[in-house]
Amino acid sequence: EDQVTQSPEALRLQEGESSSLNCSYTVSGLRGLFWYRQDPGKGPEFLFTLYSAGEEKEKERLKATLTKKESFLHITAPKPEDSATYLCAVQAINQAGTALIFGKGTTLSVSS
């Protein structure tokens, strides 16, 4: 069964304290791995798509990496405005459509 596990569930950082969020996945064939940011009560906001092991994407203070079993979202020198829930999702090859399978997310709190 395809599944996604994110850790930790919650992470508290001081402003400027870099860290990483983990996304472990099990999927029969990976079409893509996606990272989203979600603010309370709002829809997820697309951040990155990764397609193959070794791939890296960057956007401002965020950098996403992918291996054959997991993905990391590295946050460098975070600011309070980076506080949000970060969701990881996978899309499998052997399916009729392009459904996303999500993890439960990591809730990040950055204090000044």
Contacts with another protein, residue ranges (CB under 8 A): 4, 31-32, 34, 36, 41-46, 49, 87, 89, 91, 95-105
Cα separation of 59 and 71, whole Å? 16
Query: Residue 8: helix, strand or coil by DSSP?
Result: coil
Residue type, 27: V
Q: Cβ atoms within 10 A of the Cβ of 36, count?
A: 19
> Smallest gap, in angstroms, from Cβ of residue 100 to another protein?
6
76 or 102: whose CB is closer to another protein? 102
CB 65 within 8 A of CB 51: no
Under DSSP, the state recorded for 29 is: S
Residue closer to another protein, measured from CB, 73 or 87: 87
Q: How far apart are CA 76 and CA 18, in angstroms?
A: 5
Which CB, 36 or 71, lies closer to another protein? 36
Nearer to another protein, 75 or 89 (CB): 89
Decide: helix, strand or coil at residue 60: coil
CB of 112 to another protein, least distance (A): 26
| Least gap, CB of 70 to another protein (angstroms) | 16
Least CB distance from residue 87 to another protein, whole Å?
Answer: 6
